Structure formats: structure tokens, C-alpha cells
Structure 1
Amino acid sequence: MNFKLFSVALATTALIAVAPAAAEGVKIGILNDQSGVYADYGGKGSVEAAKMAVEDFGGEVLGQKIEIVSADHQNKPDTAVTIARKWFDVDGVDMITELTTSSVALAVQDLAKEKKKIDIVVGAATSRITGDACQPYGFHWAFDTRALAVGTGGALVKAGGDTWFFLTADYAFGYSLEKDTSEIVQANGGKVLGSVRHPLNSSDFSSFLLQAQASKAKVVGLANAGLDTANAIKQAAEFGIVAGGQKMAGLLMTLAEVHGLGLKAAQGLVLTEAYYWDRDDKSREFAERYFKRTQRMPSMIQAGTYSATLSYLKAVKAAGSKDTEAVANKLKELPVDDAFAKGNVQANGRFVHDMYLFEVKKPDESKKPWDYYKQLAVVPGNQAFPAAKDSGCPLTK
């Protein structure tokens, strides 16, 4: 054998031997907080929701088996990027979703752009994901800080809550939620009297709540989430903030936090969500199947993860390939209509769908387990989310 040809053959064989396992099957990674402040918010429940999507799709696509892998990023961007890099480079993961915690989502989205892989953010809120930080293969699914601001902030100002003070989580998500809500409050004629930042996973909100109380603002806006929101609401009750005439606004609250607080503590809170299990026949059917597996009703993060996973698989099938470019194009082309929501995906990767303004029921208004919300209003998708050309995403200019 010609020595040069033999050497080329050996080199080719070696390359094949060390190539990532990307060619085998379709692999989806669920990367989120499974042990910390956001564990109930999405956590292992989101993994279960993704598995439901795979089962509902049929377990395979393009003749290849679909596999779900998952990991706990512990709300640390560096940990998340290390996991995501290994998934992309070594384990052959094709798409990463959920990505609770905005700092994590932004970091993984940058990596996904570098690796030319798809990421679909569900659990993180910052509107930057499809704004100035957008990328060609990045998507944002369930909600964002602007949609929450339009829903809760806009409604409370119109109802007379025209002065605000914010308790803000001290990282990207909190800043974005405070900024977006402040803009909506001011656009509706309200004023922001001040704000204070608190560390993620705080156990003691006393000094922050005292500042909010001293501000005499009509609304105390909680620009935080998960256990931070629940703890702030519990401690606010101890300080008599609501009893003293101020209103607490949970700017990002889900069913999980309301369930953890109980109706006695959470009653009267106004909040905005993309999904509620008891809203219609479609949402109920999915929720009842989810409950049988988890003994809990799904939050909008968990239902959103189901939708994101199912939509990705439909896009792979429609593209006839796992090729990132082709699948990303199909995600932006195909309409979405599932148990979570109905709508379309914009050029910046933003899934546009209706949002819902809810009020938490009083204990005597609840007629069955998990019967927590009464719907106040529908926020149409084109009001909740900006058009792609107005989002600040460089891809749309």
C-alpha cells in the first residue's frame, strides 16, 4: 500500500474514533436548578415534562431514538457553561433547554452561538435573551421581564397603584425585571420612589422590607423569584406591610410559589403567567397527566419546557435533519399550538403568545386542590412582547 494513502487512512480512522457521538440519536439537555432557590419553580419537574413531550412525540424522530439528559447548574454560570460545553463537545447533545436563572441563560446562549447549537430558554426571564443578546440559534419560550411588566405592572398602575418601590434580586434577571416594570409604570403615569437590591437566596429580608415600608409606596414590587419571593412575602406579613395599606406585587410568581405559601399568605396577590393548569380543556388534560407522574400540578416553566421540547422535535422532523440552521429556521416558521400556548416564533427567537393576569384566590374561594387563581385579564401576545424589529436584537435590523 502507498505509505501516504495508508497514513491518511489511519488519520481518518482516528478522527472517526474520537468524534462526538452527535450522529447517534437526538439528544436534548435539560439544564436548570434542581436543588436550590428555583428547584420547585422548574427543577426535576421540568425534566419530567420534557420526557412527556418525547413520549407524546413517539420516542423517535427521523428514525432515531430521542434521549433526555439533565443536570443541576446550581445557579452558577461557570458551572452551567462547563456542563453545556461537555454536552456539546463530548456527549453529542443537540439542544439545551429550560436554563432557569438569567445569568446562566445568557452565558449558555453565548456558548450555543459559538458551537452553532440551539438553546431554548424557558425558566429565565431577562428580555435581553431575544433583545441585545439574541443569537441565530437562541430562543425564548415561556415569558420574559417585559411581558411580566406589561401584565402586572400595567394592571396595578391602572388600578391606582401609582407609586412603586422595588425589592430586586441582585443579578441580571432582577435588574431587567425592575427596569422593564419601571418603564411600564412610568409610561402609565406612575412613579418609582426607590429600590433596594438583595442577594440571591436571601433568608432575611427585614432591612429591605423596612426600606420599602418607609418609602410609603403604594406597591412593593418584588423583582425576584422562587423562594426569594416566597420568603419576602412571608416576612412582609410579619412587618404588617399589607395590613398597613401597601400592596405586594409578585412580578415573577408561579403556581409553585403560591402552593408553597398557601392561600392564606398568598391571597390577593396579582401576578402574570403564561399558563395555568385549570384554564381550558387542553391545559387540564396535560396537567392531569403530569400530576399522575409528579403529584403536583405543573408551573408555567414545566409546561413551557414540555412545549419547547415538543416544538424542537417537530422542527427536526419538518427539517428532515438535525442541522442547526435548518432546525432553527423551522422553529421560526412553524406555528405553535399545544397544551402550553398558541402562537408564533419571531425572527429574534421570541415565542409570542398570550399572557394572563391572575389574582390569587382567598381560601374560601378555592373549591378543590390546586384551585388557586381567578383570571382578571388576557394580555394579547402582541402587547406582552415587542415586535422583533423593536426588540433591540441586531439580527432583525
Structure 2
Amino acid sequence: MAEAGREPPRFAIRARHIFDGTAMLPANRTTVVVAMGRISAIETSGTKVDGLMPVHDLGEATLLPGLIDAHSHLVFDASDAAAANVQSASDQDLADAMSRRARAMLDHVITTVRDLGDRGFLSLTLRAETATRPAAGPRIVAAGPPITTTGGHCWFLGCEADDAETVTAAVDDHALRGVDVIKVMATGGRMTPTTAPHESQYSLGVLRAAAERAHFHGLPTAAHAHGRQGIHDALAAGFDTLEHASFMTATGMEPDPEIIEAAAVSGTIVSVTLGLLPGVHANPFMESLMPRILAHVKNMADRGVRITLGPDSGINAAKPPTVLPYAVEQFAAAGVGAAAALEAATATAAAACGLDGRAGRIAPGWDADLLAVTGNPLADITAIHQVAAVYRAGVRVV
């Protein structure tokens, strides 16, 4: 494993194929030039690069952008008691555990993570650490504690607010502390037994006040929304991403075609909660709904909704921090195909995280956050697990 600063200021990476975040480049042998942590050039003619430049020749590998987890919770320990454990842990214990989980994500091809709910703004400290030491973990896009109602979903993370005045005050406080995104719990969730996923926690007016205040500060917004009304209101309020958008009811799920069409027309990104560790059974109810969830996700994609992958990693034993590659595999298997699944976890995920132009693509000027796998994931999506190399900000970490 290389430490930050150990790579030469300028070097090249050569691989058989390159998926640039949207498509496979039409070349049989491609070289990417990295300078000072960013991609400076792409050579597809097969000619040799400057002989004075070190070359990492990865042979038959496929080079891709590093994967981006658009919805994670580094504060949760991926156990069936994750909610209870985060309440009993000290800040120092949580910070240490978050650091270990971040490093594990980097080892498993995740070079950026949007943390959509911590305790005590601990993700901001971790963000600073990984920004200065690329080998320490992925780039962190930090929300801080999610804004929720008193006793609402994930209330124990520490930011309860009930009306437009207190919600906008919470947004102001988050902005002052330096978060990258504002997360609001528009509906309840299964992780908090006192709330119901299908029931709204905020009115349209309060959600609109939150979104407008966040945008006033130049911050994007993410709405946790399971129920139909909550999804509708978050979309109408102008939230930038809809998290889950599962259309849960008291007994199952009922997707609404009109809301799906509105999401497609608006260009709002929907972060879908796929990704389960094979062989781990943590939520029988959600497992029973999985065929319908996959059909719903495929339908949204077919109707033009911009989809990214937000596994909600950390919330239970089936969702460790490293689960994202399984979400990519699951999305491809739902019928969208390998290219669309990879784009969802790279280029579209970067847009969801406010990193368009920085991450999620292999292109000149983009950060050199890169993944190499030994096979061709467009031919066989399971190749995403066959890791040959990982680069974070131009530093080889795997």
C-alpha cells in the first residue's frame, strides 16, 4: 500500500480497456496519464508514452472511475443493533470506528462516499483526514446529523426540529459548521421503531423552507423519503436527490406513475437502496419485497429517472460499508445492464454528490480516483469484485 505523496508527480496507467463513467472507450489498449493527482491526458492510439514517465501496466485489466457510494452511514456498525450501538458509543469510539470503515471502503473500490447522517458532525473530521491523506479513506461528502422531527427517524443522531423556523435554523447551523449537503428525513424509517416509513414527518411547506434555505447557502439537499406523500412533497419542494423513493405503504409498496414521471422530467436524481451482502439475512420484510423493488427500480430507469446507488450501508448486517459493488451487480441484474449500473455508481453518483467535473469520470481534468478490475465488467458485471488496483487522488492504495 502506498502512502500519500509516494507516487511520482507524473506517471501513466495502462490497461486493456477503459470504461470512462458512461461508456467503454473504443480502444484495445489505453493509457491514462496522471499528474499531481489528476488525469492530464488519455492516450488511445496504443503508442508508448514518454519513456521518462513511470508506467503502471495493468495488463488485461479494465480501468474505471472509482465507485461512489451515494448514501452511507459510517457512524453505524452494520449490525442488527446498529441504532442502539451508536447511542451507547463515545465520540472517540465512533470516530475510530468510522476511520476503520472508511479505509475498508477504499480497499473495496469505493473512492468517494456521501455520508448522509452521522452523530456530532464526526464525518467532517474524517473528511479533513482523508482529504490530506488519500490512503486513509475515500473522499467524504458530509451531511452531519440528519434533520428530523422530535422523536422522528434517527432522532438519536442529534438534530430534532419540528417547524419551518427550527428547521431553517438547523440548516443555518449545519452550513456554519461546513457540511457539504443537507439531509432531511421527510418520512419515517424502519430503523426507528417509533416511526413508520410510509408516513410523512414534514409538510410540503416545511420541506420547501429547508430546501430554499440550503440553496441560499449554496448547499444541495437530500430527502429521505419512503412514502408516496413524502416523495411527492420532497420533489415539489425542490430537493436535489430523493433517497430511497420506495413508495412504501403500511403493508408493502405502491409506486405512483405520475410522481415517477415528474421525477424523470425534473431530472432529480433518485438514490435507490440496493445492495445486500450475499448470504446475510437481516430484514425478512424487505427481502420479501425485493422482486417488487427491483421491478420498481427498473421501471424508474426505463422511464428516464436518473438513478444512482445508495446502499444505506451500515444500517444492518447485510449492509457493511463495503457493500456497494453488490448494489452495482444487483442493479445490472435487475435488467438495466452493466453499463447503466456502472454509470449509476460513477458519473451519476458524482452528480448526486455535487462532484460533477471532479469525480466519476475518466477524463482530462478529473481527479485520478480510479479502479482496475482483472476482467471486463461490461461483459460480466461480477468482474467488479476482481480488484487489480485502486487509486485515490493519484495515489495507488490497493
TM-score for both structures, normalised by structure 1? 0.30
Q: Which has the higher helix share?
A: 1
Structure of greater relative contact order (alpha carbons < 8 Å, 6+ residues apart): 2
Bigger Rg over Cα: 1
TM-score for both structures, normalised by structure 2? 0.30
